[in-house]
């Protein structure tokens, strides 16, 4: 097994470029930067990390990251990209799970379950979780 040094400075530069290009609606440049992400990821021995990099780029390109309310100052200048990569990768997974729940109709089941759990609630009373079901659901 050979050791391959990951050029984190280059990765950070790509993250900065992509965030700024998407923010500025520079779609063509963003696609070129995404291709650089893919080339970078394909050169890695660690397939899991490569997938994380590509997922993060997709989340940024699609506008899923940064999420609403995320405090970013543009033009983005990062000292490190690892935290951003992890958050963007998480957003990518969350979005994938949401799409799956919608595709399989699970959203409707969850909505019906929540409606049932809250249907017995009376305004102004703290009676929403008398049986502990909501607490149990939130802990899962």
DSSP string, 121-135: --TTSS-TTTTSHHH
Work out the burial of residue 128: count CB atoms within 10 Å of its CB; fewer than 13 is exposed, 13-18 middle, 19 or more buried: middle
**Total domains in the fold of the chain:** 2
pLDDT, residue 105, reads 78
Q: Does residue 129 register a pLDDT over 70?
A: no
- Closest to 23 measured CA to CA, from 57, 65, 54, 55: 65
For the ranges 6-15, 66-75, 93-102, 114-123, the one whose mean pLDDT is highest: 6-15
26 with 55, same domain: the answer is yes
114 with 77, same domain: the answer is no
Domain ranges, residue 126: 105-140
Each residue's pLDDT tens digit, 27-77: 999 999 999 999 999 999 999 999 999 999 999 999 999 987 777 778 888
117 with 65, same domain: the answer is no
68 with 113, same domain: the answer is no
140 with 100, same domain: the answer is no
24 with 74, same domain: the answer is yes
109 with 135, same domain: the answer is yes
Structure tokens at 106: 């699970």
pLDDT, residue 101, reads 80
Non-local CB neighbours of 139 within 8 Å, separated by 6+ positions: none
The pTM of the full predicted model, rounded to 2 decimals, is: 0.68
Chain length of the chain: 140
77 with 53, same domain: the answer is yes
3-state secondary structure of 24: coil
Q: Look at 31 and 128; give whichever has higher pLDDT.
A: 31
Non-local CB neighbours of 92 within 8 Å, separated by 6+ positions: 55, 56, 58, 59, 64, 65
99 with 116, same domain: the answer is no
Tell me how far apart the alpha carbons of residues 22 and 43 are, in angstroms, rounded to a whole number: 24
pLDDT, residue 100, reads 82
pLDDT, residue 20, reads 94
pLDDT, residue 130, reads 60
Q: Look at 37 and 114; give whichever has higher pLDDT.
A: 37
- Per the prediction, the chain carries an average pLDDT of 82
128 with 86, same domain: the answer is no
pLDDT, residue 1, reads 46
92 with 110, same domain: the answer is no
pLDDT, residue 123, reads 65
58 with 112, same domain: the answer is no
């Amino acid at each position: 097994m050979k050791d391959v040094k990951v050029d984190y400075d280059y990765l950070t530069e790509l993250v900065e470029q992509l965030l700024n290009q998407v923010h500025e609606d520079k779609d063509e440049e963003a696609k070129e930067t995404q291709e650089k992400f893919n080339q970078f990821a394909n050169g890695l021995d660690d397939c899991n990390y490569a997938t994380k990099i590509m997922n993060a780029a997709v989340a940024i390109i699609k506008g899923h990251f940064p999420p609403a309310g995320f405090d970013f100052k543009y033009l983005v200048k990062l000292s490190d990209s690892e935290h951003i990569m992890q958050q963007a990768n998480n957003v990518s997974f969350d979005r994938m799970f949401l799409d799956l729940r919608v595709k399989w109709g699970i959203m409707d089941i969850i909505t019906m379950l929540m409606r049932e759990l809250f249907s017995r609630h009376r305004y102004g009373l703290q009676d929403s979780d008398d049986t502990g079901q909501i607490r149990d659901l939130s802990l899962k």
